């Protein structure tokens, strides 16, 4: 009798474990189990991601050289690929970087002999933006020209906002003057001090500058 009871208990225990195993079985045995590292597998179900056409990237005001571009793409098997293109060219941070994907199927490659380019000296065109009796300001792109007979005593740069300070020798008396400059030289301010006057050139971003003199002209060039 005792032996029959033990056999019955053994059979119940076996059925219980079989039931637990069936509950824990995965519906699709071909998919990787959770928590177990498995090789990547592909799927035929497309992701609902809109097609790429173009994008625009802004540079910081202190950017001067585009060193490289890195493109990160996702493959069919889910892996990630990075492709870096070395550029190392100077840039104008005012202009955006445009990235687009175009259809190149219809582009025909031709090999034409390059004609030697004629060197043409381009004269920098300056536009008058401000003037007093003893000094006149002209701008052209990233250069400002100051025409004056007064001696430049000192120059230095301040930040927040970025400004170039120029002090000229002159014993004069006038109230502070402010002029609208150009897109880069945003504002020109002149203030009177004892035995000299100060010119403040407010900039639209971060630059280093250089100064050159030609006769009665002082050129301040931004880099």
Binned average pLDDT, 10 residues per bin, the chain of 223 residues: 56 60 53 53 64 84 87 85 88 83 54 53 82 97 97 96 97 95 96 96 96 95 95
pLDDT of residue 166: 98
Question: Cβ of 132: how many Cβ atoms within 10 Å?
Answer: 14
CATH code of the region 127-222: 2.60.40.3500
Rounded to two decimals, the pTM is: 0.61
How far is 41 from 38, CA to CA, in rounded Å? 9
pLDDT of residue 71: 86
Q: How far apart are the first and last CA of the chain?
A: 103
pLDDT of residue 25: 52
pLDDT of residue 52: 81
Domain boundaries, the chain: 54-100, 127-222
Tokens of 142: 């990233």
């Amino acid at each position: 009798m005792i032996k029959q009871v033990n056999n019955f208990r053994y059979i119940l225990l076996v059925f219980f474990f079989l039931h637990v195993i069936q509950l824990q079985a995965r519906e699709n045995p071909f998919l990787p189990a959770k928590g177990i590292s498995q090789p990547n597998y592909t799927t035929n179900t497309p992701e609902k991601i809109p097609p790429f056409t173009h994008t625009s990237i802004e540079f910081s005001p202190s950017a001067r050289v585009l060193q490289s571009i890195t493109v990160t793409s996702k493959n069919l098997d889910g892996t990630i690929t990075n492709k870096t293109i070395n550029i190392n060219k100077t840039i104008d941070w005012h202009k955006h970087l445009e990235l687009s994907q175009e259809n190149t199927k219809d582009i025909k490659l031709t090999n034409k002999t390059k004609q030697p380019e004629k060197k043409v000296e381009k004269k920098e065109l300056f536009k008058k933006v401000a003037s007093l009796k003893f000094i006149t300001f002209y701008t052209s792109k990233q250069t400002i020209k100051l025409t004056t007979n007064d001696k430049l005593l000192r120059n230095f740069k301040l930040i927040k906002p970025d400004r170039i300070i120029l002090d000229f020798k002159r014993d004069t008396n006038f109230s502070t003057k402010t002029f609208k400059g150009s897109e880069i030289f945003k504002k020109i301010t002149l203030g009177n001090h004892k035995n000299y006057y100060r010119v403040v050139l407010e900039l639209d971003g971060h630059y280093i500058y250089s100064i050159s003199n030609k006769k009665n002209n002082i050129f301040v060039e931004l880099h």
